[in-house]
Structure 1
Amino acid sequence: MDATWYAPVDHPGVTVPEDWRHWSVIWPEYAPVEITPPELRPLALAQHVPDWAEGHATPEQVRDWDQRRAAALVSFELDERGWPLHPHGRTGRTGRNLGQWGENQAADPIVIAGTGDQRSVLLITRDDIGVEAIPGGMVDPGETAPTTLVRELREEAGIDLADHRPVILGRQIVADWRNTDHAWVASTSALYRLPERVTVTAGDDAADAGWFPFGSLHQLESAVTAAGRTLYAAHRPLLLRALEYLGH
């Protein structure tokens, strides 16, 4: 067994007061919770590297930080050890529960159908955490965000929007449940607009897929709750950005 004590991967981490979140604030007693899952711990990586992850047990082993920082959606710094630092500051969690150290790029397509009172948004039920979310996922090596947007819609919702040109809403850090001080998700969010609903079918990483009313975030959350489900909190800011673009 590894000598390090690891908490469950869904551990919320230690509480970080807002005034102490920024990395420039000296906090010698800071002790974030280690949440690396078993398959990404050093002894396990020495035996087998999952096909979705890099084999570096610690950030010191990474040799291309200049390239990673240059390609990042959101700029980040390295500490004195050469470890990447979450752009928004301390998270209360350390380790890695993502494919690579530092920024992990994702793409989130927000698909809207109809207008006015008939406007709706496409959501999937994530099979990993069981909540309603925007379709989307991680950008594969060698892939671009536009390609990922199209691929994820095909894989998770069974629709092909390759002929549509979306509006890029933003590139930002996502409050993903796997984020830690040294590995996090940054996403390209894009808006697709369709004249009416199309048939969707749940696929990879999705237990279900469907349309929900989207006149406002409150209306959406009420409809999701009425269906006995929960809206993924990390996607609320992305959905709000879409509403702002649409003029509510």
Structure 2
Amino acid sequence: MLEDLQVTYPAGTYVFRQGEAGSEMFIIQEGRVEILAQKGRKEVPLAVLEEGDFFGEMAVLEDLPRTASARTLTPCQLLRIDRQTFDQLIRHNPEIAVRMLRKLCHRLRTAQPQPLEAPATVPEPPAPAETLSASAAALVHVASDTRFVLSTETENSVGRKDPVTGLAPTVDLSAVDPQKTTSRRHATLFLRDGKWFVREEVGVRNGTFVNGQRLTPGEERTVSHGDRLRFGLVELEFHSL
């Protein structure tokens, strides 16, 4: 089935150009693709996509001309998905559907007009030093001695930067995940009532594990100092004070 959808392009080839009609989207199996927008007489790069990323999905969802151009930066192998195979793709790869929804949400948020003047707020006094130190935490990638400090004020997303949606996680594992086994938005860590929790996000393919036990999507699991957390094939230690 997949073999019938595969197409190859040499480096420097336009997959499609802005303004063209289209009815297909593409998923990158190998290589890198640059997304470009026409600004006057120049083409401005918007994003560089790599293995596992997708582009051109608006042509499948709506009968509209291409809003940007796509050009290969390296020799590429792509999956070409038309409307007939789109439904089957969504059924077998829910992460693609979730990322499409996040991309749409991001576009809606950025399109909303911002208030001219933010309401005045009174800054809260800083928490006592002993409270901050008691709740401070980090994820440590022992193999590379990389330390990811976690925020105690907001939720910490774990994954890899997503050039499709333009969103970046709080804990970006791209540098320690050369095999790209973590999903773009893989899990969330947060502090609640003095305890730390981890939760797997929707659409994750390679799983989230706490001390070797796999979580179910949406499940919240408490984590303590010394626990081993694995996102895909990336294992980290949870450290807290």
User: TM-score normalized by structure 1?
Assistant: 0.29
Which structure: greater helix fraction?
A: 1
- Of structures 1 and 2, the one with the larger relative CO (CA 8 A, separation 6+) is 1
